[in-house]
A and B are shown apart, each in its own frame.
Chain A
Amino acid sequence: MHYTLLFHGSPEEFSLRTDPLRQEEYSASWIHYEKVLRDSGIFVSGACLYAPETATTLRRREGEMLVQDGPISETKEQLGGFFIIDVPDLDTALEWASRCPSNAVEVRPNLPQMK
């Protein structure tokens, strides 16, 4: 069963990526986390995303396409990356999610792939 772990970060967490004192430790924690998922044979795919201010949002309103700078919603916590993992059940997915370096992670079951 595939589950997607959606990692959300606060502005403070995003700022760790460029903090000269802490960026090395921060990125190392993600590298080690991803490596464990890969070594355990459950990693399907995933990506780390650039910060939310780099986002471009397209929204169709009354038939007209609007293009805007920034993410879809201006919430405090923004999507920073995601991993898809292949594990037997939700309990196991949550166990792996609890090990991620992010302070907020949303876990969702993936719909079965269409053939």
Chain B
Amino acid sequence: MNAHNIIEDTARDAYGRLISYLTLKWRSIESVEDALSDAFVAALESWPKAGIPDKPESWLLAVARRRLIDRARRERVSERAMSALIALSEQSEQKSSAGTAFPDERLNMLFLCTHPAIDPSIRTPLMLQTVLGMDASRIASAFVVKPSTMGQRLTRAKAKIRTERLTFAMPDAEELPHRLDAVLEAIYAVYGSGWDDYTGVDPRRKGLVHEAIYLGKLLANYLPGEPEVQGLLALMLHCEARREARIDASGSYIPLSEQDTSRWSTQMIKEAEHCLRAASHSNRIGRFQLLAAIQSMHAQRARTGSIEWKGIALLYEGLAKLSPTIGVLVGRAAAVAEGYGMERGFALLEAMPCDKIMNYQPYWALKAYLHMQLGRQEEARSAYSRAIGLCEDPSIRQFLYQQANRIT
């Protein structure tokens, strides 16, 4: 990691802590964000020359505080709010001079972003912006939304937090499982939902993968005993371990079962397996642990040289009961086809609801493959056509084209 990266990571880590901490007191995410982004820019200018300060948070807080007070004066904020702000800045000054650890409120922030009152489609973008400080235009690219629209949606969500005075407190024990699900879901969406063998790598999300794993580790730090948090982290690490192997030297896509296992990251696989083991201690199975277990079975090919398709099919069976998403159902059909024969896999595909699969590219890619294996050339050609037409990724489009060309 070079100096610039270290500075950026340090600043970002502090940024997330500060935005959560300041918003908790100040309640307006927008003003806190404006103040902190100024501080962040100042840090990127000053730190490379002056070095990273001993207490990056205090440095950023001092700059942000000045900006917040300036802004409050400009907007003629009421006396009461003004005195609260000044009290806050004194309090934080004491904290940093006393050398005590800065309170980390990012967990509260993750839960606030996924509050039931917040529209599910904006939760992940809100999380990326408030916890990681990502700008709206980058978030817009990741979700294929017009940047000005994304900006408006984020502003609306923040206004809702402010005007409805959404609770910033941690959910209680009874509420926690449900609320935690929403946090995991949002982090998983950062990684790129519906990841499976047939979609492979999407370059649009490449930068986000790093952010997703960062959030996963953050969450695991706070809630070390929650098996699904470890499960999600294991899932992301397993997928990430294969990044290099998904594309060959000429940029062509390689499906998971044909990847050169020597190009997988053994370090990340080890880390993923460690998370999965930690999760298993609690004896509470869940969706993310099952998804991670499937990736773990694929990872075993590096050692055994073969894929246990029947075992994978069994895990998918469990997943289909817990959360029958379209990605899971297509994954199950692929595993059953490999483990128990093409006809049985095909029957599962045929049983899927029509409206769900119409525009789902992996469904058509698998259907085309199974038709071809079963010797039905016309049907294979037509399914490949649809899969290619729906494809977003040029390297996968090319892969599918080559597969289609093998039909005689």
Given the contacts A28-B401, A29-B397, A101-B397, A90 and B358 also touching, CB distance less than 8 Å:
no
**Sampled A-B contacts (23; CB under 8 Å):** A25-B398, A25-B401, A28-B388, A32-B385, A32-B388, A33-B388, A35-B386, A36-B389, A37-B389, A39-B386, A40-B359, A90-B146, A90-B149, A91-B149, A94-B144, A94-B145, A98-B144, A98-B392, A99-B389, A99-B391, A99-B392, A101-B394, A101-B397
Interface size on A, residues (CB 8 A): 19
When chains A and B are docked, how far (Å) is the Cα of A39 from the Cα of B386?
9
Residues of A within 8 A of B392 (CB): 98-99
* CB closest chain-B residue, reference A39: B386
* CB closest chain-A residue, reference B146: A90
Q: Is B390 an interface residue (CB 8 A)?
A: yes
Q: Are B144 and A95 in contact (CB under 8 A)?
A: yes
CB within 8 Å of B: which residues of A? 25, 28-29, 31-37, 39-40, 90-91, 94-95, 98-99, 101
Say what secondary structure dominates the interface of chain A: helix
B360-404 to A contact mask, C-beta < 8 Å, 1/0:
000000000000000000000000011011111010011001000
CB within 8 Å of A: which residues of B? 144-146, 149, 358-359, 385-386, 388-392, 394, 397-398, 401
Q: What is the CB-to-nearest-CB distance from B374 to chain A, in angstroms, rounded to a whole number?
A: 22
Q: What is the CB-to-nearest-CB distance from A19 to chain B, in angstroms, rounded to a whole number?
A: 14
Q: What is the CB-to-nearest-CB distance from B361 to chain A, in angstroms, rounded to a whole number?
A: 8
When chains A and B are docked, how far (Å) is the Cα of A25 from the Cα of B389?
12
A-B contacts counted at CB < 8 A amount to 43
Given the contacts A98-B144, A98-B392, A29 and B385 also touching, CB distance less than 8 Å:
no
Given the contacts A36-B389, A40-B358, A99-B392, A29 and B146 also touching, CB distance less than 8 Å:
no
Q: What is the CB-to-nearest-CB distance from B359 to chain A, in angstroms, rounded to a whole number?
A: 7
Residues of B within 8 A of A32 (CB): 385-386, 388-389
Residues of B within 8 A of A28 (CB): 388, 401
Residues of B within 8 A of A33 (CB): 388-389
When chains A and B are docked, how far (Å) is the Cα of A91 from the Cα of B146?
8
Q: Are A91 and B145 in contact (CB under 8 A)?
A: yes
Q: What is the CB-to-nearest-CB distance from A23 to chain B, in angstroms, rounded to a whole number?
A: 13
When chains A and B are docked, how far (Å) is the Cα of A37 from the Cα of B359?
10
* CB closest chain-A residue, reference B387: A32
Q: Are A29 and B401 in contact (CB under 8 A)?
A: yes
When chains A and B are docked, how far (Å) is the Cα of A36 from the Cα of B394?
16
When chains A and B are docked, how far (Å) is the Cα of A37 from the Cα of B385?
12
Choice from B146, B389, B391 contacting A94 with Cβ under 8 Å: B146
Choice from B144, B145, B388 contacting A29 with Cβ under 8 Å: B388
Residues of B within 8 A of A25 (CB): 398, 401
When chains A and B are docked, how far (Å) is the Cα of A98 from the Cα of B389?
11
Q: Are B144 and A99 in contact (CB under 8 A)?
A: no
Q: What is the CB-to-nearest-CB distance from B125 to chain A, in angstroms, rounded to a whole number?
A: 13
Q: Are B397 and A36 in contact (CB under 8 A)?
A: no
Q: What is the CB-to-nearest-CB distance from B200 to chain A, in angstroms, rounded to a whole number?
A: 15
Given the contacts A29-B401, A40-B358, A99 and B390 also touching, CB distance less than 8 Å:
yes
List 20 other contacts, CB 8 Å, given A37-B389, A98-B144.
A25-B401, A28-B388, A28-B401, A29-B388, A29-B397, A32-B388, A32-B389, A33-B388, A35-B386, A36-B386, A36-B389, A90-B149, A91-B144, A94-B144, A94-B145, A94-B146, A95-B144, A98-B392, A99-B389, A101-B397
